[in-house]
Amino acid sequence: MAVGPTSRSVAGGLIESLLRPYGQILFSRNLLTGALVAAAIAITPKLFLLTLLAIAVASLAAWLFGLGTDTIREGGPGCIAALTTLALALFAPGGGSPFVLVVLGAIFSVLFLASFQTLFSSLSLPTHALPFVAATWVVHLAARLMPAGPTFAGLLHPWGLLPAWAGAASILDLSAVLVFQHGALAGLLILLALAVHSRISLLLAVLGGAIAIFTQRWLRPGLAPSMADTTAAFNAVLAAMAIGGVWFVPQPSAIGLAAVAALLASVASYALFPVLAAFSLPVISLPFVLIVLLLLTAARMRQHDRRPRSIIPGSHPEENLAAYLVHLRRFGNLPWLPFRLPFRGEWFVSQGHDGQHTHKGLWRHGLDFQGVAAGGQPFQGEGKELRDFACYGLPVVAAGSGTVALVEDGIPDNRIGEINPQDNWGNAIVISHGPALFSVYAHLHPKSLRVKVGDVVTPGMEIGRCGNSGRSPTPHLHFQIQRSKHLGSPTIAFEFGDVILRRDDVWELGTHLVPDEGSTVRPVQREDTLARALTFVPGTTYVLQANPGSRKELAQVEIDLRGRRFLRSPLGKLYFDAYDSALVLTGFEGAPSSLLRFLLLSAARVPFDSAAEIAWTDSLPRRLLLPGILRAIADLSSVVVPDVGRIDVAYRLKRDTGRAVLCGTSAEWSAETVVDLGSGEQSIAIDHRGAKTTLIMRKLASGEKESR
């Protein structure tokens, strides 16, 4: 019946819109975290009911204002409204009815949130708790002109049945203060909520609290703790959690910056306290917001986005760290994507980095390529004529998307053995790939250049022909990456992606590498049959079933506003990147029970190459195979020991009549994936330490209905 799923959907949406706002206070979308935060506030039951009222009013206001149900379910408006209610209760303005002030605070929370997000999004900066500060101040100021009535004081009594220790002052007040509470029980519930959300966040919260205690004893020795110290601790903990776990990859450098952020937030709290006290306004979380914005904007001026590495926030710090480490191992650490080889067919590296002849000093990161003739030599016959060389006159192609920045043409080719030192680079093309990133193609054949300055090029597009101009005794292509468009500029390190290497008559795929001198390489030679079988069209639904007769999982292909493509099921998301050379499964997030994670393990990368057999290695996160407690330990250990969560996998792809067979082997598991080249149906068999799983994935036919 249709009523059942609809009712469950409505109930699920209601639970999310009520619990997620509480979780968002700790930067969490986890509903259990939200429930624990709500329980900490519910120690004072009347205050808890007021926060529920605030969330309901904020949700209604957001809906009436047209902000959409997704915004409400994510919990942003409700979170700001709940925080505003908690602050108004603690810093009671003295006038107005609590009910009226809560309703006004909820409405202002929605408007400030929407307004500030519009303003700050243009600067690519977060608002964090700034709407909460603004809403609290506006209502606080307005209440001063309202007649006195019932106060918040009568709403702050805890449950009478609680034991005495629950409200006792202790070190746990440092965590309870995050929800404007005090006492051991509230502190324990908040610590538990943090642990459920993220062990890394818990570590950062403890670090922020320790820094707050240190700052208080350093700046205010001998003084009794006051509201200023409580405010400083509140801001220090939030700043440490945001910097170390939300906006930067949680590694030692980010932990260090989080400690600095906590220190600065504490100092800023002490600085703002007397200023705002003159206007009888609470400081609340303003120092946290200011310090986070200060550090994020200052970080934009760094020459390199490293140590700590900034990120787009994910669901929690563990996912952020795992995604970064997977990207680092699989795609390299350079701030740009690997380049393509600048030619077609097989060539070999005649001079590598730090070469014997010209690749030295500031120009050490250069590569010379020559074509391969019969017998593996660069030329046929005696090699005395230009036309004897296999690469002479062959196409040179763009190594990446960009705009032509410089063209040098009209320099004649040299005879074999002669050089032209006056025109060192010969005929050359320089392509801009972004700010301070240029590729150089030198020693080209005169009058073969097919581009001019300002032309836009794409990877693989022919731009000229290989020649022997400039300082070149034999035909070859010189390639390098540099920061300037000027010929002769110092080189910088770079990598090639999708490189096919011949080693002992075996084709191997290199995903990000610099080929060694003497190695024979070629780009991927696309084979369309496998590419068509593994085409994931947005809107298409797939059925996954592990072992015959077991449950089924439906996953639909989607694309988000950032252009990321993924398979989404009720249990998780599998991100992928499909381009002309390969299908790459880039990451998984979701429940360990999702069958989508098996796809990442068994077919993390599938090259669309024409070779009958090809091998490569990849590195995947071990957390995909670990149960809950071991995964938590591995995630926390990865902060300081990144390789603890790494699995190296050897893959081999073989083509057969009508199918492709992909085998993956690691120290812990093995997998075999069979792809039907006609239907695209995939059969996956995984053996993890003796536990065997068989998975079938097929496309849901048009008009077909499949039960979950």
For residue range 584-596, what is the model confidence (pLDDT) as tens digits? 998 888 888 899 9
Closest to 318 (Cα-Cα) out of 200, 208, 237, 207:
200
- Percent of the chain exceeding pLDDT 90 equals 68
Note the Cα 38 to chain centre separation in Å: 29
List pLDDT tens digits, range 319-375.
Answer: 889 888 888 888 777 666 789 999 999 999 999 988 777 888 889 999 999 999 877
**HSE-up of 576 (CA within 13 Å, CB side)?**
27
Q: Which of 10-19, 157-166, 268-277, 687-696 has the lowest mean pLDDT?
A: 10-19
Mutual angle of helices 3-24 and 76-90, in 10-degree steps? 40
Q: What is the mean pLDDT of residues 483-504?
A: 91
pTM above 0.85, yes or no: no
Phi, psi of 59, rounded to the nearest 5 degrees: -65, -45
Highest mean pLDDT among 156-160, 455-459, 574-578: 455-459
Element (H, E) at 323: helix 317-331
pLDDT band, residue 155 (cuts 50/70/90)? confident
In DSSP notation, 573-628 reads EEEEEE-SSEEEEEEEEE-TT-THHHHHHH-SEEE-B--SEEEEEEEEEGGGT--H
CATH tag, 347-494:
2.70.70.10
DSSP 177: G
Distance CA 370, CA 380 (A): 13
Residue 212 tokens, joined: 């707050």
User: Secondary structure of 526-575 in the HEC alphabet?
Assistant: ECHHHHHHCCCCCCCEEEEEECCCCCEEEEEEEECCCCCEEEEECCEEEE
pLDDT of amino acid 303: 74
Residues 6+ apart with CB under 8 A from 302: none
Tell me the domain boundaries of the chain. 14-157, 198-313, 347-494, 528-699
More confident residue, 220 or 622: 220
> What ranges in 65-127 are assigned the alpha helix state H?
69-74, 76-90, 98-121
Distance CA 586, CA 643 (A): 18
- Percent of the chain exceeding pLDDT 70 equals 97
Beta strand pairing call for 582-590 and 605-607: antiparallel
Distance CA 63, CA 61 (A): 5
More confident residue, 64 or 564: 64
Is the predicted pLDDT of residue 3 greater than 70, yes or no?
A: no
Distance CA 49, CA 519 (A): 71
Q: Which of 2-6, 143-147, 152-156, 575-579 has the lowest mean pLDDT?
A: 2-6
660: three-class secondary structure by DSSP: strand
Distance CA 33, CA 39 (A): 10
CB crowding 585-595: b at 16 or more within 10 Å, else e: bbbbbbeeebb
Whether 407 contacts 496, CB under 8 Å: no
pLDDT of amino acid 476: 96
Average per-residue pLDDT for the chain = 91
Is the predicted pLDDT of residue 446 greater than 90, yes or no?
A: yes
Is the predicted pLDDT of residue 251 greater than 50, yes or no?
A: yes
pLDDT of amino acid 334: 67
Closest to 197 (Cα-Cα) out of 57, 29, 376, 383:
29
Tell me how far CA of residue 445 lies from CA of 326, 413, 454, in angstroms: 42, 7, 21
pLDDT of amino acid 593: 87
Burial of 361 (0-12, 13-18, 19+ CB in 10 A): exposed
List pLDDT tens digits, range 514-535.
Answer: 999 999 999 999 989 999 999 9
Place of tokens 């300082």: 471
Whether 520 contacts 347, CB under 8 Å: yes
In DSSP notation, 226-255 reads -HHHHHHHHHHHHHHHHIIIIIB--SHHHH
Neighbours of 701 (CB within 10 A): 10
Fold designation for 14-157: Ammonium transporter fold (1.10.3430)
Place of tokens 């939030």: 238
Residue 2 tokens, joined: 């249709």
Place of tokens 């999004």: 121
Q: Which of 29-33, 145-149, 252-256, 266-270 has the lowest mean pLDDT?
A: 145-149
Whether 639 contacts 250, CB under 8 Å: yes
Q: What is the mean pLDDT of residues 185-210?
A: 96
Residues 6+ apart with CB under 8 A from 553: 543, 544, 545, 569, 570, 571, 594, 595, 596, 708
Is the predicted pLDDT of residue 670 greater than 70, yes or no?
A: yes
Residues belonging to the chain? 708
pLDDT of amino acid 452: 96
Is the predicted pLDDT of residue 116 greater than 60, yes or no?
A: yes
Whether 586 contacts 575, CB under 8 Å: yes
Distance CA 448, CA 444 (A): 8
Whether 398 contacts 384, CB under 8 Å: no
> Percent helix, strand and coil across the chain, each rounded to 5?
40, 25, 35
Place of tokens 């946290």: 288
Judge if the upstream peptide bond of residue 538 is cis by omega within 30 degrees of 0: no
With vertex at residue 421, the alpha carbon angle to CA 371 and CA 346, rounded to the nearest 5 degrees, is 10
In DSSP notation, 422-433 reads GGTT-EEEEEEE
pLDDT of amino acid 525: 93
Distance CA 393, CA 390 (A): 8
Q: What is the mean pLDDT of residues 482-506?
A: 90
Residues 6+ apart with CB under 8 A from 251: 307, 308, 309, 321, 639, 640, 642
In DSSP notation, 362-405 reads GG-SEEEEEE--GGG-SBSTTS-SGGGBTTTT-EEE-SSSEEEE
